[in-house]
Amino acid sequence: MIPSGKIEELVLDDITNDKKTLANLGIRLAPLIDVIFQLLIFFFISAQFRPQEAFLPLGLPTAQAAAPTAVVEPLVIYAFGSNSGCEIQIDEEIINITTGNVERDLTDFVEKLTNILKQQKRLLSDPLILVFDDEVQWDYVAKIYNLLYGLGASDITFRLNSEIQ
């Protein structure tokens, strides 16, 4: 057995020795700085620098004097319902589309339309306004629209009011 006074001395010696060793303990900075520099160099080498995302390579045209643009008046095509089918009016030309001869009458419509476009020096890309009377059957409306679209007319507008001017 250890005598009681000896135990106290040993414990007191351990406590005083721990304080000395704790005071001597510290962070050694020399190796830590080396590690930090190595990490910093690693991240600089492995980083991929990207261009800004908002950057787009564009070739913009050079500035030129703009020619005044002329507004093209639309060609108005009227369609009226009749007992035998419908009547289409382009300017002064009237084309009758009868129920029995729809294909032949629509080819006449195309011929007269192309003649009017040539006379007025218009293109199929010029605006067209279609005005249909309330008595015109939807079948004729669809056929006339499909015919104009098939010819290459791209700016076709329907007038929504039922009053024909």
Using the predicted structure, report yes or no on whether residue 53 has a pLDDT greater than 70. no
Per the domain annotation, does 60 fall within a domain?
Answer: no
Q: Calculate ∠ Cα 24-27-29, nearest 5°.
A: 125
pLDDT of residue 8: 74
Residues 39 and 79 in one domain: no
Mean pLDDT for the stretch of residues 73-101: 88
Which CATH number is 122's domain given? 3.30.420.270
Per the domain annotation, does 56 fall within a domain?
Answer: no
Per the domain annotation, does 29 fall within a domain?
Answer: yes
40's enclosing H/E stretch is helix 29-46
Pick the range with the lowest mean pLDDT from 16-25, 31-40, 120-129, 138-147. Answer: 16-25
Q: pTM for this structure?
A: 0.56
Cα radius of gyration rounded to whole Å, the chain:
46
Per the domain annotation, does 164 fall within a domain?
Answer: no
Using the predicted structure, report yes or no on whether residue 163 has a pLDDT greater than 60. no
Residues 88 and 148 in one domain: yes
Q: What is the pLDDT of residues 54-63, one digit of tens each?
A: 666 677 777 7
Alpha-carbon separation of residue 25 from 21, 35, 135 (angstroms) = 6, 20, 104
Domain with 119, as residue range(s), is 75-158
Per the domain annotation, does 19 fall within a domain?
Answer: yes
- Are 79 and 136 a contacting pair, CB within 8 Å? yes
- Are 130 and 144 a contacting pair, CB within 8 Å? yes
Helix (H, G, I), strand (E, B) or coil at 7: helix
Give the C-alpha separation, 160 to 131, whole Å. 8
Residues 92 and 40 in one domain: no
Query: What residues form DSSP beta bridges with 156?
Result: 128
Residues 30 and 85 in one domain: no
Length of the chain: 165
Helix (H, G, I), strand (E, B) or coil at 113: helix
